[in-house]
C-alpha cells in the first residue's frame, strides 16, 4: 500500500493525469512512447533527436531516458544541463512540451543513489535494449544478445538521463484546449504547481 | 521544362532523395508532415515544438514553415536564428535531423523578394489555415473562415520561417543505416555537400 500511496502522490502533479490519459489513448501505437528532446550544443546550437520514454522515476516526476554515453547529447548536457521535450501524440492530437534540468547519470557518478537508479533501469530493460550498448564502433547498433550475460550490470556506455520538469505546456489540437503548468517550488505535489495562461 | 529542370537541380542535394522517399512512404499518415523544431530561447534555454512542413522554397533546399508572429519562437529566432528539425517518420522508422539558419519573414521585412515569398505561401494555404492567423487573443485558435476574403493578402500575424539546411543527419532504424551530410559551400547542388561518418 505504501507504493500505491507514493504513486498516487507523484500523480498529483496536475499535468501527470493529462499525460497518463494521452499515453493510454495512444498505447496501441509503438511510437507513442517516442518524443523529441531538444538541448543546446556547442556554440549555442540547438540539437534535437528522438528518444524513448522509459517511465518516471519512482515517487517523483523525473522523466527517464536511456542513452549511449558516447552520444553527442551526453557531452552537451554535461556542459548545459537543460532540455525541452516535445511529445506529440499522433492519434489524440495532443502535444506536451516539458522543460527542465537534465541529470546525466553514467558510471562515473559519485552519488550511490544515482548509481543504484542507473543499475535499476538497466536491469528493467530488455536484453535487446541492453545489447545496443555493446555496439562498436557506433552507439545504437545492436549486437547479438548472446554476448550479454543477463546478470551483468550496466556497461560503461549505458547512461541514464532524468529530466526534472519545471514547466509543462499542453495543447489539444482537437479541442483547442491549452494549459500551462509551472512548478513554483521543489516537489511533485499538486500544490507545487500553478496553471498559467498558455500561448503557442 | 525550365521548372522541371529547376526541381531536378534542387533535388540533387543528396539527402533530398532520401527525404522524398520517406515522405512518399509515409504519405498515408496525416502526421507525416509534422516535425519538431528546436530553437534556443531566453537565457539559453532549449525550446521545442511541433510544426508543419510547408514544402521547399522553389529552386533551393529551404524548408518552409508557417507560424504566428505572436508566438514565442519568432522572438527567439530573431535573437538567435538557429534551428534543428527532428523529423521522425513513424511508419518507415526513419529520422532526419536537419540543422541550419532560420529566416523570419513577417510583414516588416524590408526585402521585396522575401515579402513576395510570404505572400505566395499565404495564397498557397487553405482558407482554414489562413483563418488561424485571425485568432484572438491567442495564436492558433481558428475563427470562422467567412470572416476572411480569399483575395486578402497575408495578415500581420502571418509569418513565414525558412530553414536553410547546413547539416542533415539520417538514420533508418529498420536497416540501421546512418548517413550524415554537411554542406561545404552555399548552394544546393550535390557537389556542395559531403557525406561524413555518422553518430547517434
pLDDT of residue A197: 65
Q: Is the pLDDT of residue A190 over 90?
A: no
Q: Chain A to chain B, count of Cβ pairs less than 8 Å apart? A: 124
* B3: contact with A, CB 8 A cutoff: no
For residues A130 and B19, give the distance between their C-alpha atoms in angstroms, rounded to a whole number.
30
* B34: contact with A, CB 8 A cutoff: yes
* B85 to chain A: closest CA residue: A48
Averaged pLDDT score across all residues of chain A: 89
* pLDDT bucket at B42, cuts 50 / 70 / 90: very high
Question: Is residue A154 included in any domain, yes or no?
Answer: no
* pLDDT bucket at B148, cuts 50 / 70 / 90: confident
User: Mean pLDDT throughout B70-96?
Assistant: 96
User: Mean pLDDT throughout A130-143?
Assistant: 70
**Helices and strands, number each (H, E), in chain B:** 5, 8
Q: Which residues pair with A97 in a beta bridge?
A: A86, A169
Q: Which residues pair with B63 in a beta bridge?
A: B56, B163
pLDDT of residue B4: 40
Q: What CATH number is attached to the domain comprising A52?
A: 2.30.110.10
Listed in sequence order, the residues at least 6 apart from B121 whose beta carbon sits closer than 8 Å to its beta carbon are B54, B64, B66, B160
Digit-coded pLDDT (tens) for B117-141: 999 999 999 998 998 898 765 555 5
* B71 to chain A: closest CA residue: A200
Averaged pLDDT score across all residues of chain B: 89
Share of chain A above pLDDT 90, in %: 74
Judged by CB atoms closer than 8 Å, whether chains meet at B38 and A46 is answered as yes
Q: Is the pLDDT of residue A198 over 90?
A: no
Report chain B residues whose CB lies below 8 A from the CB of A74. Answer: none
Judged by CB atoms closer than 8 Å, whether chains meet at B48 and A84 is answered as yes
Share of chain A above pLDDT 70, in %: 87
Question: Is residue A109 included in any domain, yes or no?
Answer: no
Judged by CB atoms closer than 8 Å, whether chains meet at B49 and A83 is answered as no
Question: Is residue A130 included in any domain, yes or no?
Answer: no
What are the phi and psi torsion angles at A82 (to 5°)?
Answer: -115, 145
Question: Is residue A135 included in any domain, yes or no?
Answer: no
Digit-coded pLDDT (tens) for A21-80: 999 999 999 999 999 999 999 999 999 999 999 999 998 999 999 999 999 999 999 999
Judged by CB atoms closer than 8 Å, whether chains meet at B199 and A49 is answered as no
Pairing of strands A177-183, A82-89: unpaired
Domain range holding B20? 2-196
Q: Is the pLDDT of residue A7 over 60?
A: no
Question: Is residue A174 included in any domain, yes or no?
Answer: yes
Judged by CB atoms closer than 8 Å, whether chains meet at B90 and A90 is answered as yes
Number of Cβ within 10 Å of residue B130's Cβ equals: 20
Of A45, A85, A176, the CB nearest to B48: A85
Q: Which of A36, A41, A71 to mutate to test the interface with B (most CBs of B within 10 A)?
A: A36
* pLDDT bucket at B188, cuts 50 / 70 / 90: confident
User: Mean pLDDT throughout B103-107?
Assistant: 97
Report chain B residues whose CB lies below 8 A from the CB of A171. Answer: 140
* A175: contact with B, CB 8 A cutoff: no
Digit-coded pLDDT (tens) for A96-114: 999 999 999 999 999 999 9
Judged by CB atoms closer than 8 Å, whether chains meet at A45 and B139 is answered as no
Judged by CB atoms closer than 8 Å, whether chains meet at B44 and A39 is answered as no
Report chain B residues whose CB lies below 8 A from the CB of A88. Answer: 31, 34, 36, 50
Point out the least confidently predicted range of A79-88, B59-68, B69-78, B179-188. Answer: B179-188
Higher pLDDT, B76 or B200: B76
- Within 106-135 of A, beta carbons closer than 8 Å to B belong to none
Report chain A residues whose CB lies below 8 A from the CB of B90. Answer: 29, 31, 34, 90
Q: Is the pLDDT of residue B162 over 90?
A: yes
User: Mean pLDDT throughout B83-91?
Assistant: 97
Q: Is the pLDDT of residue A177 over 80?
A: yes
For residues A172 and A136, give the distance between their C-alpha atoms in angstroms, rounded to a whole number.
42
* pLDDT bucket at A5, cuts 50 / 70 / 90: very low
Pairing of strands B94-105, B46-52: unpaired
Judged by CB atoms closer than 8 Å, whether chains meet at B138 and A199 is answered as yes
Q: Which residues pair with B35 in a beta bridge?
A: B51
* Of B44, B33, B17, nearest in space to B179 by CA: B17
pLDDT of residue B197: 65
pLDDT of residue B144: 65
Pairing of strands A46-52, A94-105: unpaired
Q: Is the pLDDT of residue A200 over 50?
A: no
Q: All 3 cell numbers of residue A167?
A: 514547466
- Within 51-80 of B, beta carbons closer than 8 Å to A belong to 68, 70-72, 80
Of A34, A44, A70, the CB nearest to B44: A44
- Within 141-170 of B, beta carbons closer than 8 Å to A belong to 141-142
- Domains held by chain A: number: 1
What are the phi and psi torsion angles at B53 (to 5°)?
Answer: -70, 120
pLDDT of residue B187: 73
Q: Is the pLDDT of residue A20 over 70?
A: yes
* pLDDT bucket at B7, cuts 50 / 70 / 90: very low
Q: Is the pLDDT of residue A10 over 80?
A: no
Amino acid at each position: 500500500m505504501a507504493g500505491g500511496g507514493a504513486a498516487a502522490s507523484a500523480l498529483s502533479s496536475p499535468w501527470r493525469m493529462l499525460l497518463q490519459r494521452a499515453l493510454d489513448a495512444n498505447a496501441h501505437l509503438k511510437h507513442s512512447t517516442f518524443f523529441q528532446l531538444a538541448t543546446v550544443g556547442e556554440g549555442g546550437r540547438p540539437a534535437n533527436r528522438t528518444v524513448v520514454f522509459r517511465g518516471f522515476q519512482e515517487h517523483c516526476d523525473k522523466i527517464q531516458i536511456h542513452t549511449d554515453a558516447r552520444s553527442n547529447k551526453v557531452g552537451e548536457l554535461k556542459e548545459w544541463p537543460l532540455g525541452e521535450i516535445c511529445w506529440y501524440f499522433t492519434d489524440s492530437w495532443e502535444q506536451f512540451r516539458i522543460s527542465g534540468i537534465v541529470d546525466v547519470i553514467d558510471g562515473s557518478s559519485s552519488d550511490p543513489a544515482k548509481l543504484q537508479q542507473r543499475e535499476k533501469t538497466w536491469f528493467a530493460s530488455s536484453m535487446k535494449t541492453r545489447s545496443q550498448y555493446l555496439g562498436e564502433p557506433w552507439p545504437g547498433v545492436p549486437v547479438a544478445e548472446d554476448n550479454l550475460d543477463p546478470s551483468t550490470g550496466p556497461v560503461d556506455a549505458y547512461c541514464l538521463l532524468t529530466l526534472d520538469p519545471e514547466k509543462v505546456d499542453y495543447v489539444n489540437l482537437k479541442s483547442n484546449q491549452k494549459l500551462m503548468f509551472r512548478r513554483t517550488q521543489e516537489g511533485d505535489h499538486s500544490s507545487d504547481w500553478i496553471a498559467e495562461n498558455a500561448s503557442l
